[in-house]
Amino acid sequence: MTPPATFERVAPDIISDPRRPSRRAVLGTGLATAAWGRTVRKVEAAPEPDGLAARAARRGIVYGAAVSSEPLRTNRMLQAALARECAVIVPSFETKWGQTEQTRGTHTYARSDLVVDWAIRNGLAARGHAVIWYRNLPAWAGDALKEAGGAAIFDEHIRQVMGHYKGRLVEWDVVNEAIEISDGVPGGVRHSLFYEALGPDYITRAFTVAREADPSARLFYNDYGLEYDSPYDEQKRNAVLRLLTGLRRAGLVDGLGIQCHLKVGNRLTPEVLRRFLGEVAALGLRIALTELDVNDSRLAADVPLRDASVAEHAKRFLDVALDQTAVMELVTWGLSDIDTWLNGKGFARGDGQPSRCLPLDTTMQRKPLWHTIAMCLDAAPIRQSVFE
Ligand code: XIL
């Protein structure tokens, strides 16, 4: 087996320049830190005072990005950009079951550790995603979960991955994408392998085991299809609210993750979004915008026009979302267009042009979407740390 790859520190010139304010000075020790809780204090790389993390911190919000291990390992420009712009990092792929236990009983954390350790070493927090997801399962899990001891295997997976990261990840998306109305199951529960093997109670079971596995981590339910004004989204919002109400009553969930895979051309109605966010907040839950990106596949190739439309669409969403003070985190699903899932099969643009869905371009230059996020963060009301 090849030994796990390690990183050099990010841009030592950034780290050692005495004229640069420290990460702590920029992000503040006040509201933002209190709201985020247990971020790692060690300062090795300073964020830009005008970067997204610093702007977010001034409003009591945490900004960060997902990253895949390979570009993080190999691209020093991306490393430096993450250190400048982010307060939290999310491994986008590496902590999923299909990666951590490809072979039954053999647990592999080399790639996910690479991302998490890098974040922590550079003074960033790390967020976990996604313990129980119906996709990206190891091939063996299909049969194993349906065996007599299937529930024990399910529990053991949760204990394994959360135990490995105990105390290192501030939050986990414990269950991801468990609602699919069109499957016709009561409660809107997705007809997944977990549902087939364990019944609809698997969701509560996952949160119960997760709470024990890492009592200090904040636990989230995470889903997509909650953002827009469509009958699909409306039904899904209602099912998610019912699910959260039960989990909250049992003290098992701390927050809702709204993925925010936005798409230019989808119908956004401010009142609809505002009402839903208010309903979640009224349950006493915090809200994280966990996977923001803006799909530009309906737009013509022209880059300036495309960038402008992407930014404008994001602004309409963020104006409403960041106005709700229960929204404490904003994570983009990648920081730079070099590291996005939207160039993959099923999502890529028809004309073969790479997607321009993220705040920075492939050379780490700030795009209109970056400026829009910055402006929206600046305009957001300051959060009270009511969640501590
Ligand atoms: C994606 C990752 O970005 C890809 O690298 C991986 O191949 C598939 O998953 N919703 C989610 C994320 O909750 O886990 C998905 O991430 C994107 C959609």
- The finding on whether 130 has its CB within 6 A of some atom of ligand 1 is yes
| Pair 358, 347: CB distance under 8 Å | no
CB 235 within 8 A of CB 188: yes
CB of 92 closer than 6 A to ligand 1?
Answer: yes
Task: Provide, for the chain, the percentages of residues in helix, strand and coil under a 3-state DSSP scheme, each rounded to the nearest 5.
Answer: 45, 15, 40
Average the pLDDT over 8-31 and give the result: 46
Q: What are phi and psi of 132, to 5 degrees?
A: -115, 105
Beta bridge partners of 218: 171
Phi, psi of 235, deg, nearest 5: -65, -40
Instruction: For residue range 159-186, list pLDDT tens digits in order.
Output: 999 999 999 999 999 999 999 999 999 9
Distance (Å) from CA 16 to ligand 1 centroid? 35
> What is the whole-number distance in angstroms between the Cα of residue 341 and the centre of ligand 1?
7
Q: Return the ligand 1 atom nearest residue 66 CA.
A: 3
Half-sphere exposure of 20 (CA within 13 A, CB side): 20
Assess whether pLDDT exceeds 50 at residue 13. Answer: no
pLDDT tens for each residue of 311-330: 999 999 999 999 999 999 99
> What is the structure's pLDDT at 48?
87
As to burial, measured by CB atoms within 10 angstroms (0-12 exposed, 13-18 middle, 19+ buried), residue 296 is buried
- Residue 121 makes CB contacts below 8 A (sequence gap 6+) with 7, 9, 42, 44
What average pLDDT does this structure show over 188-198?
98
Distance 96 CA to ligand 1 centre (A): 9
Under the banding of pLDDT at 50, 70 and 90, the label for residue 26 is low
Q: What is the maximal distance between C-alpha atoms in the chain?
A: 62
Mean pLDDT of the region 102-119: 96
Give the contacts of 169 (CB within 8 A, at least 6 positions apart): 116, 126, 127, 128, 214, 217
**Assigned token pair, 19:** 């004229």
Q: Could you tell me the distance, in angstroms and rounded to a whole number, from the CA of residue 178 to the centre of ligand 1?
A: 15
- Nearest-atom number in ligand 1 for the CA of 96 is 14
The full DSSP string for 301-348 is S-HHHHHHHHHHHHHHHHHHHTTSTTEEEEEES-SBTTS-GGGSTTTS
Residue nearest to atom 9 of ligand 1 (CA): 93
Cα 339 to ligand 1 centre (Å): 12
Task: List pLDDT tens digits, range 52-66.
Answer: 999 999 999 999 999
Name the residue with tokens 């992407």. Answer: 310
Structure tokens at 382: 């300051």
In this prediction the pTM is 0.91
> pLDDT band at 96, cuts 50/70/90?
very high
Strands 261-263 and 255-258: unpaired
Closest-lying ligand 1 atom to the alpha carbon of residue 176: 13
